[in-house]
Amino acid sequence: MARKTGGNIKDLLFERTTGGFAFLVLFLAVLLFAVLLRESVPALRKFGASFLVTGTWDPVLEKFGALPFLYGTVVSSTLALLIAVPLSVGAAIFINEFAPPWLKAPVSLLAELLAAIPSVIYGLWGIFVLVPILRDGFMKPVTKTLGWIPFFKGPVYGPSMLAAGVLLAIMIIPFILSVSREVLATVPQRQKEAVLSLGGTRWEMIRIVIGQHCLPGIFGAAILGLGRALGETMAVTMVIGNRPEIFVSLFQQGYSMAAVIANEFAEAGGLQLSSLILIGLLLMLVTLVVNLAAKRILSKMVARASRGI
């Protein structure tokens, strides 16, 4: 009996110890919020809500507004989604529906490798390969013929909102692709067969099944990709041009929330530091909301699929 009691005490000790570590993780998450909030108070006090709509970023006059960075983050991420979602969904359809079975494993592996490349390497490749290609092969010809459209106005330097959007698209494609493939795989075989048996072509089958079944899931995949794109730092910093101004033209330089933190944080102090931390807090809250939304949409999708609807 004594031995058993000893076991119970040890069991309790073990549970408490592992619980202690789990509590530590919770504590770190709370601490993260608390610390960022505390340090951004000076900027919050000084600027309040006007921080979000002010376009000046002047360390000399100590006047700080986050608008150019918000704008850059939103535009570059949106651009990335516009490129990445159709491509990923198309590729997912190809892999799941048309590709010979032996092709599936290598393509998944390639997508996973793409996801494993560090973002600084994407940035390096962006600076020396992607930007020159986009500048000479796309931006210069387009601005020559369609330069009257505000989005395509010159002058063309290379580093630009467009370059950031394209690079981000390449980076988030693996995530959107793998989630889209999972979503497509949840379509019951019966449903596909039903469409085909009614005389539908394969294309009609894809259109109907995706339209009926997969849109929420693909939306969730896109939101998940958005969460990645919003917080991406190094690659964007290296190709967006880092100019704290707002241009309508996608060929002009921009700046993003993460990029301004990366560039200015190490040398900042006082109100500038506090403003940068406030930008960080905003970025964290936005990605948090986006990620939770994606999770909710996708788990609903999975629940529906498991009920076989």
Partner 1 sequence: MKGLFCLCAFLVVLPLFLILFDLVMKGAKELRWTLLVDLPRPVGEPGGGIANGILGTVAITLLTMTWSVPVAVMSGIYLAEYGRGKLASAVRFAVDTLTGVPSIIMGIFAYILIVLPMKRFSAWAGAAALSMIFIPVVVRTTEEMLRTVPTTVREAALALGIARWKATLRITVRTAWPGILTGILLAMSRIVGETAPLLFTALGNQFWQSRLDQPMAAVPLQVFTYAISPYEDWHDKAWAGALVLITMVLLINIAARVLTRQKR
φ, ψ (nearest 5 deg) of residue 65: -140, 145
Is the bond preceding 106 in cis, omega lying within 30 degrees of 0?
no
Please say whether the beta carbons of 96 and 210 come within 8 A.
Answer: no
Span 27-56, contacts to partner 1 by CB under 8 A: 28-32, 35-36, 39
**Amino acid identity of 61?**
L
Here the tokens at position 87 are: 């491509």
Q: Which of 50, 98, 137, 185 binds partner 1 (CB under 8 A)?
A: 98
Nearer to partner 1, 235 or 250 (CB): 235
Q: From the CB of 95, what's the least distance to partner 1, in Å? A: 6
Q: Provide the angle, in degrees to the nearest 10, between the axes of the packed helices 257-264 and 270-306.
A: 140
Nearer to partner 1, 240 or 249 (CB): 240
Site residue total, partner 1 (CB under 8 A): 81
Residue 111 near partner 1 by CB under 8 A: yes
Nearer to partner 1, 143 or 166 (CB): 166
Q: Which of 76, 77, 119, 272 binds partner 1 (CB under 8 A)?
A: 119
Q: Which of 128, 146, 212, 303 binds partner 1 (CB under 8 A)?
A: 128
Nearer to partner 1, 142 or 276 (CB): 276
Please say whether the beta carbons of 173 and 88 come within 8 A.
Answer: yes
Nearer to partner 1, 89 or 183 (CB): 89
Residue 121 near partner 1 by CB under 8 A: yes
Span 78-97, contacts to partner 1 by CB under 8 A: 86-91, 93-95, 97
Nearer to partner 1, 143 or 286 (CB): 286
The site string for partner 1 over 234-253 (x = CB under 8 A, - otherwise) reads x---x---------------
Q: Which of 49, 60, 116, 309 binds partner 1 (CB under 8 A)?
A: 116
Nearer to partner 1, 120 or 149 (CB): 120
φ, ψ (nearest 5 deg) of residue 57: -135, 95
Binding segment toward partner 1, per CB under 8 A, in 50-58, 146-154, 184-192, 281-289: 281-289
**Which residues have C-beta within 8 Å of that of residue 290, sequence separation ≥ 6?**
223, 226, 227, 230
Span 159-218, contacts to partner 1 by CB under 8 A: 170, 173, 177, 202-203
Residue 277 near partner 1 by CB under 8 A: yes
Q: From the CB of 157, what's the least distance to partner 1, in Å? A: 15
Q: From the CB of 271, what's the least distance to partner 1, in Å? A: 15
